[in-house]
A and B are shown apart, each in its own frame.
Chain A
Amino acid sequence: MSASLVHDFDWIARQMPGAPALSWHGGVWTYADLQLAAGATQARLLASGIQPGSRVALLIRNSPQYVASYFGVIASGCVAVPLNVQERASVLSRQIEHAECSAVIADPQHQEWGALSEVIAPKTPHIVTVDLQPGTAGCLAFCAEMHADAELKLPELQVDEPAMMIYTSGTTSRPKGVLLSNGNLVANARAIAAYLRITPNDKVLCGLPFHFSYGSSVLNSNLISGAQLLLEDNFAFPQQTLKRMQEEGVTGFPGVPSTFALLLGRCQLSDFDLGKLRYITQAGGSMPRAQIEKLRQQLPNTEVFIMYGQTEATARLSYLKPEHLETKLGSVGMPLPGVEIEVRNHEGNVVASGEVGEIYARGPNVMLGYWREPEMTAQVLRDGWLHTGDLGHLDDEGYLYIDGRAVEMIKVGAFRVSPQEVEEVLATFPGILEVAVTGVADEVLGQSIKAVIVLREGAPADLRGVKAHCRQHLASYKVPKIVEFATALPRTSSGKVQRFKLA
């Protein structure tokens, strides 16, 4: 069966070519602009002889050019590999190599591009750089850079063929690519669009990065529905964000707990006229109940959707209907239509309601697997079920509650950070004998990273050097906020480090 995001996007774009699709830095791209630019990307890739199924990396921050490249890659039957623009060149080059990318489409202004392009140039057959300019001029420049002016062509795209690969945090620094099919993307996007009731009348302000599953799902679900996305670079200036929401008459706003902590921390939402704000969505980790209450108080006429999912399930597995927010406070709701969720024990048996176990999920949104990692894939995909690694329980009525993670991860804002990845980088700093990393409570981010270091005898406690080393090798959100030096790490009698005692 032929079904894909670009089929759905193309259909809506033909219905409403002049409607605004993306608003960014004061300029607007219409659905026709986006269709044209996606067609130009597709033509460029095909003209370069890139075969369907090839991986094409995207190193472009949220912008219309990212979206055009993303749709163009999928329309070519290739696999879009969006890279985390916050990562360092060493990580990016490892991912590009790991994905065996045939092409890279990049923003040459990216701060790591100089170092990265030198490393990847000899091994990457096609490198295309695109300037990020807003508005129609930006669209025309993009098409010119692609050296193509062609209509978007819709080939046969099979539901079980890969369309996207998202790198996610593994338990080590080894790249872990979640491979998603055309069917995964379109099923999840349609389900989300349906429960949020997204229509062409919607204007959604999005500051979530598209290279992560949550941001990507916002992009997909809105652009197959004819809605307009207003791209926001960051939430550093919450007053400005709220003013833009007021002026533009924003109807939808997706965020993670730290987004709402930033907005609610310094501003009174009720000072702004957000009367058109129909809904808010929250995913990416649990939000404190007090914050949910505060949102409800300050925005009494806005529906709040609490959601749960993971990259391995494309993005979304469950959501709590706004009308159940009070009676089921703390729950992440019920499975999406077409998705099944079970909670099972260590033996793989379904547990009774109220009992905590691992969350299993099955549905059209469950990934194809981890790229080039059959063993890792077999560990999490068994008998058609995804073993999420999350712990939870269901209540008597089938509402899901999250109780933690079976696999140790630190959640910094919306980002999952593996303690091992940070430890591996720290261990390469001279003078460090051993190190352990854990998450500690943080008012805004939920958790921040703490490292406890044991030095070799005579080695200096170079706090600044340690942090600078981390910044050089890790994305900035992975740099430990707190670094302490100790004489020994807390261990169990069997010698295992007790991370919980580090906090």
Chain B
Amino acid sequence: MGDFFAIVALSLRANLRHRQGLIGVIVLAVSIVPVFFAMKGTLQELLARASWDVVRPWVGNALGLSGYLVSLLCTVFLGVMLGVGTLTQEKAKGAMETLLAAPVREMALWWAKVTACFLPALVLGIPATMGILWALNVTVIVPVVGKAFLPAPILATVLLGVPLLGLGLAALVNLVGLLVANPNLGSLAVVVVVIAVSNILPRLGLEFASWAFAYANMAAGGLILAGSVVAARFFLTKQRIILSARRL
């Protein structure tokens, strides 16, 4: 496990200092603001339309959507941005080869890379999501209803479902990044998966504030993670990682 922790520490430092990581944080901060104002307007409109008992499911759905969007943006987008930037550079400059020539197992390297891009995304993502949900409650719901409203399935989605999805996608993007010459293919794979998930889940008729939606996200994340682990067992070798590096 020593190699895993050593590389996690290294990659966390490198990711957080990398320009792409900083850009990711800025983009994220900027994109959260419109989500907040759009949802604030929607919630105000809903609450003005009818009594709380009538609009409650719709308010739950709108809150669920807000939480889902923000946590997805943080854990997935930021995670991918953090991972791809440093991975490309490390492969091209031979740092990855040097690391693999040291007593480092390829699976430990992969898991360390996944952890190093998922952890900061999670650390930023959960407070950001909870912050948005809290701000919507404080500014819109509490003044009208008199109490805060945060259904348990929404919490399950943002605290478990999306992080699991983010972990699966971080595993996928890092695996593809390690195995192919063009790491942008990893980002492309994630975009394809996110589009597929975001298209499939609403078609299933699931409400954002439902347990079914939370479970569906957990299942999707679990499937992607399991698929990545199986693929890594078959394909992740030192030879493949090294020969796929495009030298600078």
* A and B physically associate: no
Seen from chain B, the residues whose Cβ lies within 8 Å of a Cβ on chain A are none
